[in-house]
Structure 1
Amino acid sequence: MINVDKIRADFPILKRTVHGKPLVYFDNAATSQTPQVVIDAIVDYYSNYNANIHRGVHTLSQEATDKYEQARIKIQHHFNAKEAYEIILTAGTTDSINRVAAGFASLLNTGDEIIVSALEHHSNIVPWQMLCEKTGTILKVIPMLEDGSLNMEAYHNLLNDKTKLVFCNHVSNALGTVNPIEVIINAAHKVNAAVLIDGAQATPHIKPDVQALNVDFYVASAHKLCGPTGVGMLYGKQEWLEKLPPYQGGGEMIATVTFEKTTYAGLPHKFEAGTPNICGGIAFGAAIDYLNSIGFDEIAAYENELLAYGTQELLKIEGLKIYGTTKDKTAVISFNVNDIHPYDIGSILDKLGIAVRTGHHCAQPIMDFYKIPGTIRASFSFYNTKEEIDVLVAGLKRAVMMLS
């Protein structure tokens, strides 16, 4: 069972005030907060062994290299990748997706088809649209249903021998819907299509096993997992990573360079050109350790309590409508109240010290489906409390009264 008071003490930012009010942070789907142990890992790197990795014979370089590669192994074990070199450290989920999309530009042909879901973040839409423009590949969309789930019958009907790739998020950032990725992956593989799963929103709540899922690519960001911004990971099956060409050229990703010919380094360095975010990678490993010390089963159980309580209390507000009502969802509540613009409510909540996200959440097709300009999104984490939800409800009532 989670000791939320003890956990909250690990996060320095939760002690601050905003506009003279205690901070209530419900924007975790955008960025989670950072525990002291991760902050300490960042400070330790810059204070004690700041150096470039993989290239130096001196002590600082070797220490930094060891710490960085240890972090890669921590991430490998967390996601249960078969090999450490199947974990590519990137600048985040968006960067990871773009690396795969750029690689497939040389593998797809005019008339090939790729499938994306209607629930995607723009980061898992736009790179594939760009890929289609380059290659003549056709983009098909799995439609969504009114409750925020995917139309799986339509998905099965889209699959055919022209399908080469399928892209889907594990969890919708806008609605919290947990997608049936096992079904999606297995069905795609029956037509020999590869699958990329965007795990940015799932990994704070779920511990994915990439081997059990049999997924071809899985991507995630550290800053959703109590880690720093600007770092993430791309898991790829070895066979696919060897097929794809490098994303960038430069240092580190080469084996030999002459003016006549360059040969590329093996995995994972083939996809890690240039000096990486060394400190970020090390801190990513520290964040993984921290979350596992709490336990993902415990995190999920507690966050489900928060979701149930938040849903119950918010629905007591007259005129409040929740978008995304599937039973299988993470601790995200996306809603509007009457015809009040979400931005106006969000601005008043901020004055009360309550941080929520408003807008289309980089998922504009979802908002177009519901014919709304956006939503107010309250996203909970394991360091939030039911008392904070009460503060949100009271703040919403005040905002609605002011704006009605």
Structure 2
Amino acid sequence: MAVGTSITSNGGGITLVSGKGSTQGGNSEIASGTASAGDGIGGRLALKSGGGDVVVSGTNATASHMSVTSDGSIRVKAAATSSLEIRGGNNMNISVDTGELTVSHGETTVPGGVIWRLQPNKMISHVPAQITEVTYPSDRRIKTDIEDIDEDDILQRLQTLEVKKYRYSEMWREIRGIPDVTVRGVIAQQVEETFPEYVTISTLTLPEKNFSLEQFHEVNKQQITMDLIAAIHAQHRRFKVGPNSEAQSGRIDIATADAGSYTNASPTGSSGDISVETGSSSVSTSGDVSIATGDSIAGEGGDLVLEAGTAQGSGTAAGSVVIASGGNYENPGNVNLQTPDSRGSRNSGSISVTTGWSAFGESGSIAISTGDSLTGAKGVVDVTSMSTRVRP
């Protein structure tokens, strides 16, 4: 089928129109031929313009249509009250050769309307995302060069991260479509000083939002989560909470690492100290330190053992135990050593002060004395009992 041509005016047109009906209009069908042979190939159907657009539309061509423009662009549009469905019977692929893939929403408050974008190496959402579950590939067979890490170092570095509270700038709130509220988080530039592996720096450009920022810092918070597990391991080795059992609640162990047992440790180094103290006070009483075992209704009360470390090397000395009160210009603290009263028929608790025995030298001495006084008398040593026995 062909129509006439013109060298001075418009070419002839072709209109295929089905008939109108009172209950239903007539159908129009354009079909290519089929192949009669089982292995044959059916004919091709092509709609091709002479340089203009190819448009497939409903009753209202402006509201709903599919068009192919002369430059090869394709536009599919549904009316505001109509839906659009694209469905693949088996597989379906949406791809772009260059640039980025974006998704927009007509009711969003985000500038430019784009709420999601897929770039060659990144997926960006400009609105909050609700995701039921997130999984990561972590199969042993896809990993190489697996090594232990210095979890103690991770713990120390994590303790330097500062959590701040802040508000986002008006520009960023508009881009993200978020309210002006105070939030908590980290500052990427500060994180980079201690954990540069957490931070990615690039140029962020969002054309439809008229936004571009060079040296844009982003923090990988998933890496922070993994390192928190390592930090918990390191802290657990020093402050260990044991499991509960049927007969006993879980024990708590507080200990420093053995000398030479940690990464980069000197074989001649010392083990760490443990310091338990309260803070200072300028105008009021400083805090107390209370160490006590729990009470028991029917069983025995727990023991309180204060013991210094032993030493085995030649020419070394074992640790000492020092119990001293606090100093004051006029009223230094007292040291009281006593057992509680006995309310029943048994004796009250005893106090035993002894030195250890010696295999070859003299055993240790016991000295009880008061201090000197520059202007007053020395203090009195008062030993009181209903009966006194002095043994050699």
TM-score range, shorter chain: under 0.3
Q: What is the TM-score of this pair, normalised by structure 2?
A: 0.18
Q: Which has the larger radius of gyration?
A: 2
Larger helix percent: 1
Give the alignment's TM-score, normalised by structure 1: 0.17
